[in-house]
Structure 1
C-alpha cells in the first residue's frame, strides 16, 4: 500500500469515528470556566474546628448571608484537628481557583511559632476580617468560685490541678490561659480539645474545671444559667456581659483574644480575589450577618484584605514574642 492510500484510509477512519461519537452523544470537552465566570459552582468554606464553636457559627452566618450576593452557594466543611492545621493545610494545597476557602483565626500565626505547623500566614491571601473577640474564663454555674480572684487563689493553692480547657495546643485560648498564669502566678493543667465547642461540652459535663474561650462560645449556656463567666480579657466590658469585669479592672494587665476572617490560597487569580472581596464586603454589611453575630455575641469587625494583611503581619510579630516570653512548648 502506498503512503498516499494509507493516509486516505486513516483520514476516512478518523471521520467515521467522529461521526460515531456524534451519534452516541459524545462531545468535545467544554472549555474550563475561567476567573471571569467565577463562581460557576458551589464554594467550600473550610472551618478548621469542630461544629459548635464561634468560628463555626461565624462561617455559617456568613454562608447564609452571602446568598443574596452569590449565584452559587457556600458549603461549610468542618476539618478539625491539630489546632486548625489540618483544615488550613487542605486549603493551602488545594487548587487556587477560589472554590476552596478557609476561615482564618489567630492560630494561623501561633502554630508555626510553636513548631506545630510548617505553613505561615503568607500561604494565604486575606479576603477580609469579620470578627474580633476577647478571651474569657468561664466555669460551671455551681462552681465554688464566684470571682476571678477566688478562681486564681484555688489554682495557686493546688498548682497544676485546675483543669482549664482550650481549643487545642497552641490555640489562642491556650495562649490566653498561659498569659493569665504569667500575669498572676497561677498554674493550670491545660486540657486541649479539637475546638472550643468540645471544650465547653466537657465543662458542662464536669470533666474540666474551666474553659478559656471567647464569650461567644459560652454565651448560650451563660444565659441559660448553666455556666458563669468570671472575667474577660478585654480593654472594656462587653455590652452583652456588662456585669463581668475585665482583667484590668481586677488588677491583671492582660488583653488578649482572637480574630476571624476569610482567606484563599496564595496563588488565587487577582480577578477571583477581587470578586471574593466584593462579595465579602456586601455580605458583611447584610443585616442578617449582623443579627446572627449579635445573637451569638460575636464581636463584629470588618476590615478589607489590605488592612487584614497588615493585621496578620503585626500580630505575627506579637505572638512570636509572646510564645517566646512564656516559653510555651507543645
Structure 2
C-alpha cells in the first residue's frame, strides 16, 4: 500500500512539472503582451537644440497616434554620445528605455571612448541620414570653401572648427577634410552640434563641420553661411551650396539617426516597436519636421539598419587608423 501511494505521488508530481514551468514563464510573457503599460523613455545622448534632438522630439510626437503610452525624451549628453548610450546599454531590456542612435555608435569604440559597441544595442529602425557641411558666420571673410581652406593653410592649426565631441562624426568629417586637402584645423569639441553652432554664432570658433540640419535656421536668418557639403549631390534647401566633389575634393561623409533598444529586449517587444516606428515615420507631421529642419528622410528596418552599422564600423575603424585619431 505504501509503495502504491508513493508511486501515485511521484506520477502526480511529474504531471505538474509542465504546469509549473508554464506558470514560471507566465509573468515575463504577460509583461511582453501588456507592453507598453507605462511611458517609454527615449534617451537623446546630446544637448537639446541639434538635429538629433529635433528628430527625437518629432518622432516621439508621431508615436502618440500608434501607442497607448507616451514616449518621453531624456537628454543625457556627454562624451560624444557615449554617456547616453551606456545608460541604455545598461538598462533593463524591457523596452521602456530606448536610445536615439547616431553614427558615432560605430566610431567611439575604435577610439577607446566607449566600452560598448553597436552590437550591444538592438536596432529598431533608421529614420534619417545626413551629410556633413562646413559652415561659418555670415560676416566671415571666406565666401567659398577654397578661400576657407587657403586661410587654414596659411594659418596652420589656427582656424577653430567646432564639432559634437571628440570622435563624433563631425570631428571625423573635419579630420578627413584635413587629410584630403593637407590643411590643419584646431578641432574644438562640444557636447553636441547645438552648442557648437551657438559657439559659432557667438564668434568663439571660426566654423562648424555639422550637418545642414543643425544650421538651417541660422542660415535662413542670414546669420550663418554654408560653404560646402560633403555629399554626392547638392542638399535640398541648400541648392546653392556646392559639394566638395564639385570643388575637386573627393570626400563624402555623414551621419544617420535611428532608434535602438538594449540587447536582449524580447523579440515581441522589438517587433511592436518596429511597427510603431514605421507608422510614426510615415506620419506627415514627422516628415514635415524633417523637411523644415533639412533632415534627410532615410527609413530602414532593423535588419538593414544593423547591416549599415556593421559596414560603417569597419569603414571608420580603417579611417581612424589612417588619420591616427586617438582619444
Q: Give TM-score, length-normalised by structure 2.
A: 0.91
Aligned equivalent of 2:108, options 108, 111, 132: 111
Is residue 100 of structure 1 aligned with residue 97 of structure 2?
Answer: yes
1:188-226 deviation digits (Å, cap 9, x = unpaired): 000000000000000000000000000000000000000
Is residue 251 of structure 1 aligned with residue 248 of structure 2?
Answer: yes
Structure number with greater Rg is 1
Is residue 147 of structure 1 aligned with residue 144 of structure 2?
Answer: yes
Which structure 2 residues correspond to residues 57-72 of structure 1 after superposition, within 5 A? Answer: 57-72=54-69
1:266-288 deviation digits (Å, cap 9, x = unpaired): 11000100000010011101111
Is residue 295 of structure 1 aligned with residue 300 of structure 2?
Answer: no
Aligned equivalent of 1:265, options 262, 267, 282: 262
Q: Which residue is 2:172 aligned to?
A: 175
Question: Secondary structure in 1 aligned to 2:107?
Answer: helix
> Taking structure 1 as reference, are residues 266 and 31 closer, same or farther at Cα in structure 2, changes over 3 Å only?
closer
Following TM superposition, by how much is the alpha carbon of 1:329 offset from its aligned partner in structure 2, in angstroms?
1.4
Unaligned runs of 5+ in 1: 1-29
Alpha-carbon separation, structure 2, partners of 1:201 and 1:136: 16
Aligned equivalent of 1:156, options 116, 133, 153: 153
Alpha-carbon separation, structure 1, partners of 2:299 and 2:217: 24
Aligned equivalent of 2:121, options 124, 133, 156: 124
> Taking structure 1 as reference, are residues 31 and 87 closer, same or farther at Cα in structure 2, changes over 3 Å only?
closer
Which structure 2 residues correspond to residues 164-243 of structure 1 after superposition, within 5 A? Answer: 164-243=161-240
- After the TM superposition, which parts of structure 1 deviate over 6 Å for at least 4 consecutive aligned residues? none
Q: Which residue is 1:278 aligned to?
A: 275
> Taking structure 1 as reference, are residues 269 and 138 closer, same or farther at Cα in structure 2, changes over 3 Å only?
same
Alpha-carbon separation, structure 1, partners of 2:183 and 2:264: 45
Alpha-carbon separation, structure 1, partners of 2:275 and 2:103: 23
> Taking structure 1 as reference, are residues 203 and 49 closer, same or farther at Cα in structure 2, changes over 3 Å only?
same
Following TM superposition, by how much is the alpha carbon of 1:249 offset from its aligned partner in structure 2, in angstroms?
0.2
Alpha-carbon separation, structure 1, partners of 2:320 and 2:286: 34
Task: Check the 8 A contact 1:139/1:209 in 2, yes or no.
Answer: yes
Alpha-carbon separation, structure 2, partners of 1:63 and 1:98: 15
Following TM superposition, by how much is the alpha carbon of 1:239 offset from its aligned partner in structure 2, in angstroms?
1.9
Following TM superposition, by how much is the alpha carbon of 1:32 offset from its aligned partner in structure 2, in angstroms?
9.7
Question: Secondary structure in 1 aligned to 2:316?
Answer: helix
Q: Give TM-score, length-normalised by structure 1.
A: 0.90
Is residue 324 of structure 1 aligned with residue 307 of structure 2?
Answer: no
Is residue 40 of structure 1 aligned with residue 28 of structure 2?
Answer: no
Alpha-carbon separation, structure 2, partners of 1:44 and 1:215: 28
Q: CA RMSD, aligned part only?
A: 1.1
